[in-house]
Amino acid sequence: MLSDSADMEVSVWRGAGVAGQFENFKVPAQENQTILDVVAWIQQNCDPTLSYRYACRVGMCGSCAMMVNGVPRWTCRTHVKVALQGNRISIGPLRNLPVIKDLATDMDPFFDKWISAEGVHHPTRSRDDAIEQIDPEDHARRQANEGIECINCSVCYAACDTVAGSADYLGPAALQRAWTLFNDARDAGRVSILEAVSGKGGCHNCHSQGSCSQYCPNDLNPMAAIAGLKRETALSFFKRRT
Amino acid sequence: MLTVRLYMLQRITALLMAPLVLGHLAVMIYAIQSGISAAEILGRTQGSIAWFLFYGGFVVAVSVHAAIGLRVVVHETFGLRNTLLDLFTWAVAAGLFLLGGRAVMAVTLS
């Protein structure tokens, strides 16, 4: 249990691009404190040039994810007590993404891959048509529902060793989005989705290591979504040849 | 660097290899247990179309399966990409096919 008066040893990554190093700070421990609170305290009390990204502070926007003691976490919802090792915490920028400065990463590759995976809406109807009735108990709808709480935080992308080894791999978040849309009756892009996830960086590169599902802060299961895409692409592989 | 085509090829060859591996193990155990000599084994395999197809199929499946597996390892470990990666994959497949094919020919051709 932390007392309010103790100081924690906090190492924070400083630098731009590929160059940088950890810088140590002493931060007062408080009974209730998140990792984002620690970062904000350093920026407000030690070094105003510290760069980091956040918006909502309540686990909705997905913008504050960082590596905490080597593990990707949403920092606004991660209590210091959960992450503290001894009296130390290291905080770094998300893995697998280019660093802009300090703790802020360039998210472009992450979102570009959502587009590459056809993670965009392909409408079945126009604004002039009646709204489609969706049965919430339908099997495909249930599958789609399992992925819709993704907040695009990139924690799964940072946790994925396949992304680390293969820069072209679309990654768990983009593939889960593709699987969600594939199962959505209001999406007309089933064929284009399967084609998009069957290329060189597609779902077949996943080794099912499961880091995405282990670290997802919303307890989603991108690995299962990728397995679903593998199943559907395998079936369509035979269908296209008959 | 796996497309759906390579992924399916690797799975299909794995499916083919599973019974072939079991058959090979069974043959080895049978040959050792019954104490037959190398000459006796060759006497049964040489000129046999069945053994040629059994081990020939095995070699083809191994060549394809292992080349795709090593392709992934080499890409993720050493960053080999595109044409170089394709060349590596074909080289491994061709090498395994030649080595295995030579052995199959020696054992099954009369």
pLDDT at residue A241, as a whole number: 65
CATH 3.40.470.10, applies to A7-105: no
pLDDT at residue A37, as a whole number: 98
pLDDT in tens, B67-95: 999 999 999 999 999 999 999 999 999 99
- In this complex, is the C-beta atom of B72 within 8 Å of any C-beta atom belonging to chain A? yes
Suggest the residue from A96, A166, A168, A206 to mutate for an interface test with chain B (most B CBs closer than 10 A): A166
Beta strands in B1-110 (DSSP E): none
- In this complex, is the C-beta atom of B83 within 8 Å of any C-beta atom belonging to chain A? no
Residue A242 confidence (pLDDT) above 70? no
Q: Which residues pair with A14 in a beta bridge?
A: A21
Residue A3 confidence (pLDDT) above 70? no
Average pLDDT estimate for B6-23: 97
Residue A220 confidence (pLDDT) above 80? yes
Same fold, A7-105 and A108-239: no
* CA of B43 vs chain A CAs: smallest distance (Å): 42
What H or E segment, with its residue span, contains residue B106? helix B82-108
Per the model's pLDDT, the better-predicted residue between A239 and B98 turns out to be B98
Per-residue tokens: A242: 């008959």
pLDDT at residue A28, as a whole number: 96
- The secondary structure of residue A77, as a DSSP letter, is G
Residue A5 confidence (pLDDT) above 70? no
pLDDT at residue A128, as a whole number: 95
ipTM of this predicted structure: 0.88
Q: How many CB pairs under 8 A join A and B?
A: 36
pLDDT at residue B34, as a whole number: 85
CATH topology of domain B4-108: 3 helical TM bundles of succinate and fumarate reductases (1.20.1300)
- The secondary structure of residue A203, as a DSSP letter, is G
All residues at 6 or more sequence positions from A10 whose CB lies less than 8 Å from its CB, including other chains: A24, A25, A26, A27, A38, A42, A88, A89, A90, A91
In this structure, CATH architecture of domain A108-239? Orthogonal Bundle (1.10)
- In this complex, is the C-beta atom of B7 within 8 Å of any C-beta atom belonging to chain A? yes
Check: CB of residue A35 under 8 Å from CB of residue A68. yes
Contact B3 A198 (CB under 8 A): yes
* CA of B77 vs chain A CAs: smallest distance (Å): 7
Residue A161 confidence (pLDDT) above 90? yes
Q: Taking the domains of chain B in order of start, what are their residue ranges?
A: 4-108
Check: CB of residue A177 under 8 Å from CB of residue A114. yes
pLDDT at residue A1, as a whole number: 45
pLDDT in tens, A50-104: 999 999 999 999 999 999 999 999 999 999 999 999 999 999 999 999 999 999 9
Q: Taking the domains of chain A in order of start, what are their residue ranges?
A: 7-105, 108-239
* CA of A163 vs chain B CAs: smallest distance (Å): 9
Q: Please provide the average confidence, as pLDDT, over all residues in chain B.
A: 95
Check: CB of residue A151 under 8 Å from CB of residue A62. yes
pLDDT at residue A64, as a whole number: 98
pLDDT in tens, A93-114: 999 999 999 999 999 999 999 9
Residue A163 confidence (pLDDT) above 80? yes
Closest residue of chain B to A199, computed from CA coordinates: B3
What are the angstrom distances between the C-alpha of A1 and each of A4, A31, A41, B97? 10, 8, 20, 63
Contact B7 A230 (CB under 8 A): yes
* CA of B73 vs chain A CAs: smallest distance (Å): 9
